[in-house]
Structure 1
Amino acid sequence: MTEKLALDLPLILPDVPDAADACVGRLQDTIKAKPGVTEVHVVPPADGPAQLCVHFDAKQLPLPRLRELVRAAGAELSGRYGHGLWAVKGITHERRARTVAETLAAIPGIVEADASATGTVRVEYDRQAIEESAILAALAKLKVTRTGVVASDDKAAHATELTHAPGDDHDHADGSKHWPGDGHDHSHGQFLGPNTELIFALTCGALLGIGWALEAFIGGFPEWLPTSLYIAAYGAGGFFTLREAIDNLKLRKFEIDTLMLVAAAGAAALGAWAEGALLLFLFSLGHALEHYAMGRAKKAIEALAELAPDVATVRRGREAVDVPVEELIVGDIVIVRPNERLPADGFVIKGSSAINQAPVTGESMPVDKVKVADAAIARAKPDMVDAASRVFAGTINGASVIEIEVTRRSNETALAKVVKMVSEAETQKSPTQRFTDKFERFFVPAVLVLAFVLLFAWVVVDEPFRDSFYRAMAVLVAASPCALAIATPSAVLSGVARAARGGVLVKGGAPLENLGSLKAIAFDKTGTLTEGRPRITDVMPTEGTSEEDLLALAVAVEALSDHPLAGAIVRDGRERLGARELPVATDLRNLIGRGVTALVGGETVWIGKAEMFGTDGIPALGDAATQAIAGLRDGGRTTMVVRRGDRDLGAIGLMDTPREAAKAALKQLHAMGITRMIMISGDHQKVAEAIAKDVGLDEAWGDLMPEDKVAAIRKLAGEDKVAMVGDGVNDAPAMANATVGIAMGAAGSDVALETADVALMADDLAHLPFAVGLSRRTRRIILQNVIVSLGVVALLVPATILGLGIGAAVAFHEGSTLLVVFNALRLLAYRDKWREERSPADGEAPQDLSLREERT
């Protein structure tokens, strides 16, 4: 017989809080290999941390032994594998990022390594084989220096927060931490500031222009003067190119920088100094402008990190003192004055105000916040605090003074996690980028062979060697796939930045591309299509039971549970019962997907779905309870049966309110070409159909247990690409099996934020059409960029073979690179047209939405 064991992941892997972490996958693989284990999967429950669920044969593997094996494997993995996400300087463009990632990945002990042109490096390494200091030393050899820690499980890294390589001139007495783009990004700063490369390129152009003017229009000057100016232009235009080429050659890499230098040197050897200087001028100018353009997309992401204030006003006894936000601790009382940004996540304990949450959730209108009804309950269960009292760091207070109690430290806020995850997303390659990378691996060697063959064209064609050499260099320059290398990363970076600015977190290029190709979307019901705030509509006791007795027993038991339906029974039940004393319930057990059981007065009490009864040794329902359930379900009610001992006490009917924005959002998704939309729910089929019809869905699949939802998503995914939309808690397994998992209300849920591929920060389905539309625009721009990149190469290679000069080839080459970058930057200006065009009757005025676009 197969049994189950559930263990909290944070206890097994204490340094890995993210259930999607690679170490979790290794842990699963390690445990699966044990004899007697049949299945291992992660289940993030609603009332606690993520859990590792192990299915095992108790005859082959006793439970105590299994516990030992799981904990030993977790301790080994937790202590063995390290993770780091660092802000760095020294990565200036996509080709350089790829070189850094490939070099790190080749080092023994490094399991995975990725780098981004925005100045982010992500590494996962085996501590038994390599230390973090050795990785930093390897980066230093690549002239890449860590300037800040975006995320790391290395305690020394968190203690120092800032590491300097020998000779680094970034010492700060206060130990402040740098982020890329915070005014300390000196990748090309050097001695003339951040625009040094551009200054050198323009200097090269000026020297070239003066030399050419002296030669062409002004006589009387010695012949050596224009040549000297051209040589000086070589020095200015080739300085950064030479430095990068030397670094690449040390790594045995033959990149475009080396090709440009070879071509310029060849031109000089042939006496064509002016043409060689023109080549270096165009290349260095294009490089500098590429860095500037990518910097714009980079800053759009880095601006997120600057939303939270540096200082918070904290109440200390009767006094209010200003302290750095890093020193805030859980439980601190923070005073927030009118129009100030909130310094931390927490809940309101005094005052009320309208708070602009657009910087974090993308909501267009300020949201009214009021103090919590019971601070003690909120303190005990901060994740269960109602949205009307929950606040986030980086949002903007309205016209009233409020006081909030801090529930998360500054590095654990929703905003901090978004910054970290967006930084990680920059390093995740999309399917198109993986394709172009593979294409380059075959294309570049083919070009080198072609250039080598052309060197010997003089043997076949009656021409001097210098002409053959010149043609070969021109082909090398023309065929270099610079634009192709930057085509996809620039679009992904801009798309991720625009999405984050609109309250949608997209974790990398793959979900960003996949989201736009979907034809089917599955939705969870509770909390997604409905408000997630069900209310009691009917109380139907059986004969011999009063309504008050039924409610009192249900409230007593459900008060021990964190399930949304339990919360509704407790809230509405207490309101109906008034001051009546409740019985004492103990020993609550959660029967996942079915209900709960507890002890009251020594008797067992069951509360749950009708389908729970008559299975697993639980007696079947009587006729009276069965008839009551049928009547409630015909009316579209969610039903909960209450039994004490062997007696059915009755049924409680609940109804959840469909979300106002859901119907309009689903209508828009239909208009955008999403041909199939399905609701999957654990509720009875009739209840599911009633809600689906109300909001405008195509299909409703009800009576599904959590494992049935997973099977349903797998079935849909086998037919076509499918997204799963849920709250990220109970829906996590189903979301993990979808092409794209989408979580709503992620700003208030750690599990939702960590388990989804796409997270809608606001608890609002209206953001979904925006995310799909942005994804489709990103896919179009990626396709345009790839076509331009390959098209220019396809035109230039035969043109240079037939005689097009190096200067013209470089001009087209660099022009195409800049074209794809600036084309990608258009995504930063993507507008949420659907929300802008919605009428006031739909809930928002168009002018309010245009203001949102201006603010963001």
Structure 2
Amino acid sequence: MVEQKEESQTPSHHSHPSNKTELFFALFCGVFLSIGFLIEQLVVLPTWVSLSSYIISYFFGGYFISIEASKKIIQGGFDIDFLMIAAAAGAAYIDKWPEGALLLFLFSLGHALEHYAMDKAKKSIEALGELSPKTALLKKEGSLKEVAIKDLRINDIIVVKPNTKIAADGVIINGSSSVNQAPITGESMPVDKTFMEYGTNSPSFDEIDKKHIVFTGTINGDSSLDVLVLKLSKDSTVSRLIKMVSDVETQKSPTQRLTKKFEKWYVPLVILVVVLLCFAYLIIDESFNSSLYRAITVLVAASPCALAISTPSAVLSGIARAAQKGVLIKGGKALERLGEITTIAFDKTGTLTEGKPKLTHVIPLNDFNEKDFVQLVLEVESLSNHPLAKAIAKDIKSQYHIEVTNKASEVNAVQGKGIQATYHREKVFIGNRSLMESAAIEVDQVLISKMEQLLKNGHTVMIVAYKNKVAGLISVMDTPRKTAASTLKSLKEIGIKRMIMLTGDHQNVGDAIAKQIGLTEARGNLLPEDKVDAIKSLLVRDGKIAMVGDGVNDAPAMALSTVSIAMGAAGSDVALETADVALMSDKIENLPFVIGLSRASKRVIKQNIWISLGVVVLLVPATILGLTNIGLAVVFHEGSTLVVVLNALRLLRFK
């Protein structure tokens, strides 16, 4: 984890010894400016005394700015730092030392505060790096030894003591506990974790049920766990999160790209105008110094500092706020695009639904009593390994509080039809109509219409026959998540107009779930490639679309969408790689927060651009016409930069 930390602290577009040094230099600049000013105004001393104070002020104020400007010039570009140095040098040339020093003081203070703000946003992201403990308890030949995280190897076994941080991504092979996953997934409630039966071969991380898996940096509850390490520290979910968030800054948002382009031609233009203004005395009746003074004031007024910082500060704050809530947004592009979405497509299984079939109806028929009927179904289904049979047996046990008495035997699966078994020496069939036909069991019209009604509502229906006649019906269904309906309602409230479900299930199932949770549309019977076509057609219709899925089987469709959102991304490499936005937890209710946050970020970016451009548009003509002096221009100019940064930092408190 240590190497990771260093790697993630890549300095931003300004490399400094430290923010503190920069801030102190700015403050010293202000102190010597004040001393010079007070000596000049209140005490009768030779001019060189106040002048030397201003010169020292110049040194402290211009130190970091000069370094940055010279770096840029070597690379062949002029930027805002260069404009500021030029303005300060010009002010000194015409003996306006106090104004020059004031300019450098406010500009260097603004710079230091801007870096402080950027750092604050970054630090809340890098706090992720602090999640990982530095050492782990390695279990070897019966004894425990404390080792550094980076020395852990795959298939090592570590012991996690109660109420301590988990030191590696892995699978629990002994013990069960409730684990606080909030640092990674943002889930507020601890999650119950249990051990997995572990054979000789090492399981693959992505295929293990999440209830057996633990992540680096999450906090163990009240009991001890043995964890089999499945990922090295550099590949752990936390390390990847940090690396991704540090890479995030390189993915510029559309607005950021636009402002960069604008600055590219704007700065040389300003320099040209300023040079021309220096020769204004040739045309109008004024001294060279007056022309130069005006030119320098225009130089200050026209510098687009606030514009340069307006988008990056908002993007970083937005991304940092999302990271605190267990949501990874990959860069300004994803953040801005998400704010423009009005159509969302959802994968069904595991996204809108629990992804686990539940027993929905038990209908005994032909004078069968319910208790005998469910006992019969339980005995037979508990012998089968089919996922549906397992789900039925589990739900009957919990709903009816009965246990298996092992009265059934000789169970056989009939491919594509169902199962048959023996119960109390009589044959039992559970399955579809063709199974009944092949066993010559009569299915009457009343039964068929009952089945059709259930099928229409999205249930999967099975007929149960015993002693050569129909004993009843049972049905199962993948049920919607408890929070799905309320989440979709919140999405509607924040302006999402269309919500479409894409599923491989039967259209009836899709329609039934859509009706229950309030979707605008459901498209059923889709193979993965059909989902891609569905996204294509939605893009044609709505222009922009977000796709929400678990990122594994939906990867092709997600790659096509404007913004792809993966759920339950913690531990899923594919989802982390392919999605633009990753909800680390499996909670769909984080969606409205993310979309709300990206809209707020978009608003802040717009406000910032208006503020920064507005100040330039008002100040430049005023200075050309000689309506403002350099001091006033400096105050307005630097004031707008601070307003923009503070406005962006509001996003860190977004609810």
Q: Deviations over 1:498-535 (max 9, x none)?
A: 11110111111111111122111111111011111224
1:443 alignment partner AA: Y
Q: Does 1:311 align with 2:135?
A: yes
Q: Partner of 1:200 in structure 2?
A: 25
Deviation at 1:759, TM superposition (A): 0.9
**What secondary structure does 1:408 align onto?**
coil
Q: Partner of 2:350 in structure 1?
A: 527
Q: Please give the alpha-carbon distance, in whole angstroms, between the structure 1 residues aligned to 2:378 and 2:604.
A: 63
Q: Please give the alpha-carbon distance, in whole angstroms, between the structure 1 residues aligned to 2:209 and 2:310.
A: 44
Q: Partner of 1:375 in structure 2?
A: 198
**What secondary structure does 2:145 align onto?**
strand
Q: Contact (CA 8 Å) 1:490, 1:821: kept in 2 or not?
A: yes
Residues 553 and 731 of structure 1, relative CA distance in 2, 3 Å threshold: farther
Q: Please give the alpha-carbon distance, in whole angstroms, between the structure 2 residues aligned to 1:244 and 1:581.
A: 81
Q: Partner of 1:713 in structure 2?
A: 535
Q: Please give the alpha-carbon distance, in whole angstroms, between the structure 1 residues aligned to 2:230 and 2:413.
A: 30
Q: Contact (CA 8 Å) 2:566, 2:582: kept in 1 or not?
A: yes
Q: Contact (CA 8 Å) 1:201, 1:236: kept in 2 or not?
A: yes
Q: Please give the alpha-carbon distance, in whole angstroms, between the structure 2 residues aligned to 1:186 and 1:820.
A: 18
- Which residue of the other structure, out of 145, 167, 184, is the alignment partner of 1:343? 167
TM-score by length of 1: 0.65
Q: Partner of 1:518 in structure 2?
A: 341
Residues 583 and 314 of structure 1, relative CA distance in 2, 3 Å threshold: farther
Q: Percent identity?
A: 54
Q: Does 1:435 align with 2:255?
A: no
Greater RCO (Cα-Cα under 8 Å, separation 6 or more)? 2
Q: Partner of 1:215 in structure 2?
A: 40
Q: Please give the alpha-carbon distance, in whole angstroms, between the structure 2 residues aligned to 1:210 and 1:203.
A: 10
Q: Partner of 2:469 in structure 1?
A: none
- Which residue of the other structure, out of 96, 99, 124, is the alignment partner of 1:275? 99
Deviation at 1:242, TM superposition (A): 2.0
Deviation at 1:248, TM superposition (A): 2.0
Q: Partner of 1:461 in structure 2?
A: 284
Q: Contact (CA 8 Å) 2:501, 2:510: kept in 1 or not?
A: yes
Q: Please give the alpha-carbon distance, in whole angstroms, between the structure 1 residues aligned to 2:171 and 2:578.
A: 24
Q: Partner of 2:48 in structure 1?
A: 224
Q: Contact (CA 8 Å) 2:68, 2:81: kept in 1 or not?
A: yes
RMSD of aligned alpha carbons: 3.7
Q: Contact (CA 8 Å) 2:19, 2:112: kept in 1 or not?
A: no
Q: Please give the alpha-carbon distance, in whole angstroms, between the structure 1 residues aligned to 2:450 and 2:250.
A: 56
Q: Contact (CA 8 Å) 2:379, 2:405: kept in 1 or not?
A: no
- Which residue of the other structure, out of 455, 458, 463, is the alignment partner of 1:633? 455
**What secondary structure does 1:428 align onto?**
coil
Q: How many residues align?
A: 602
Deviation at 1:395, TM superposition (A): 0.9
Q: Please give the alpha-carbon distance, in whole angstroms, between the structure 1 residues aligned to 2:461 and 2:560.
A: 29
Deviation at 1:428, TM superposition (A): 0.5
Q: Deviations over 1:70-119 (max 9, x none)?
A: xxxxxxxxxxxxxxxxx9xxxxxxxxxxxxxxxxxxxxxxxxxxxxxxxx
Q: Contact (CA 8 Å) 1:474, 1:805: kept in 2 or not?
A: yes
Residues 688 and 378 of structure 1, relative CA distance in 2, 3 Å threshold: farther
Residues 368 and 226 of structure 1, relative CA distance in 2, 3 Å threshold: same
Residues 570 and 729 of structure 1, relative CA distance in 2, 3 Å threshold: farther
What stretches of structure 1 of length at least 5 have no aligned partner?
Answer: 1-86, 88-147, 151-175, 541-545, 559-563, 589-594, 596-607, 611-622, 642-650, 832-856
Q: Does 1:411 align with 2:239?
A: no
Q: Partner of 1:665 in structure 2?
A: 487
**What secondary structure does 2:355 align onto?**
coil
**What secondary structure does 1:320 align onto?**
strand
Deviation at 1:319, TM superposition (A): 0.9
Q: Please give the alpha-carbon distance, in whole angstroms, between the structure 2 residues aligned to 1:302 and 1:539.
A: 53
**What secondary structure does 1:810 align onto?**
helix
Q: Partner of 1:244 in structure 2?
A: 68
Q: Please give the alpha-carbon distance, in whole angstroms, between the structure 1 residues aligned to 2:487 and 2:646.
A: 31
**What secondary structure does 1:339 align onto?**
coil
**What secondary structure does 2:59 align onto?**
helix
5 Å-filtered alignment, 1:14-33, equals none
Deviation at 1:703, TM superposition (A): 1.7
1:518 alignment partner AA: I
Q: Please give the alpha-carbon distance, in whole angstroms, between the structure 2 residues aligned to 1:533 and 1:214.
A: 80
**What secondary structure does 2:123 align onto?**
helix
Q: Contact (CA 8 Å) 2:80, 2:267: kept in 1 or not?
A: no
Residues 682 and 566 of structure 1, relative CA distance in 2, 3 Å threshold: farther
- Which residue of the other structure, out of 523, 533, 554, is the alignment partner of 1:701? 523
Deviation at 1:279, TM superposition (A): 1.8
Q: Deviations over 1:353-378 (max 9, x none)?
A: 22211110001112222223x22399
Q: Please give the alpha-carbon distance, in whole angstroms, between the structure 2 residues aligned to 1:449 and 1:457.
A: 13
Q: Partner of 1:601 in structure 2?
A: none
Q: Contact (CA 8 Å) 1:356, 1:396: kept in 2 or not?
A: yes
Deviation at 1:719, TM superposition (A): 2.1
1:180 alignment partner AA: Q
Deviation at 1:226, TM superposition (A): 1.0
Q: Deviations over 1:384-418 (max 9, x none)?
A: 33333221111112222222222221112221121
Q: Does 1:765 align with 2:588?
A: yes
Residues 552 and 351 of structure 1, relative CA distance in 2, 3 Å threshold: closer
Q: Please give the alpha-carbon distance, in whole angstroms, between the structure 2 residues aligned to 1:358 and 1:265.
A: 53
Deviation at 1:633, TM superposition (A): 2.4
Q: Contact (CA 8 Å) 2:8, 2:243: kept in 1 or not?
A: no
**What secondary structure does 2:231 align onto?**
coil
2:530 alignment partner AA: D
Q: Partner of 2:419 in structure 1?
A: none
Q: Partner of 1:327 in structure 2?
A: 151
**What secondary structure does 2:479 align onto?**
coil
- Which residue of the other structure, out of 68, 74, 80, is the alignment partner of 1:256? 80
**What secondary structure does 2:199 align onto?**
helix
Q: Please give the alpha-carbon distance, in whole angstroms, between the structure 2 residues aligned to 1:383 and 1:609.
A: 34
Deviation at 1:266, TM superposition (A): 1.6
**What secondary structure does 1:747 align onto?**
coil
Q: Please give the alpha-carbon distance, in whole angstroms, between the structure 2 residues aligned to 1:217 and 1:518.
A: 62
Farther-moved stretch of structure 1 (273-282 vs 480-489)? 273-282
Residues 149 and 382 of structure 1, relative CA distance in 2, 3 Å threshold: closer
Q: Please give the alpha-carbon distance, in whole angstroms, between the structure 2 residues aligned to 1:702 and 1:694.
A: 16
5 Å-filtered alignment, 1:304-703, equals 304-372=128-196, 374-376=197-199, 379-535=202-358, 555=385, 633-638=455-460, 654-703=476-525
Residues 300 and 346 of structure 1, relative CA distance in 2, 3 Å threshold: same
Residues 415 and 609 of structure 1, relative CA distance in 2, 3 Å threshold: farther
Deviation at 1:573, TM superposition (A): 13
**What secondary structure does 1:195 align onto?**
helix
What stretches of structure 2 of length at least 5 have no aligned partner?
Answer: 364-375, 398-402, 417-430, 434-442, 464-472
Deviation at 1:536, TM superposition (A): 6.5
- Report which of the two has the higher share of helix: 2
Q: Please give the alpha-carbon distance, in whole angstroms, between the structure 2 residues aligned to 1:609 and 1:454.
A: 89
Q: Please give the alpha-carbon distance, in whole angstroms, between the structure 1 residues aligned to 2:200 and 2:388.
A: 18
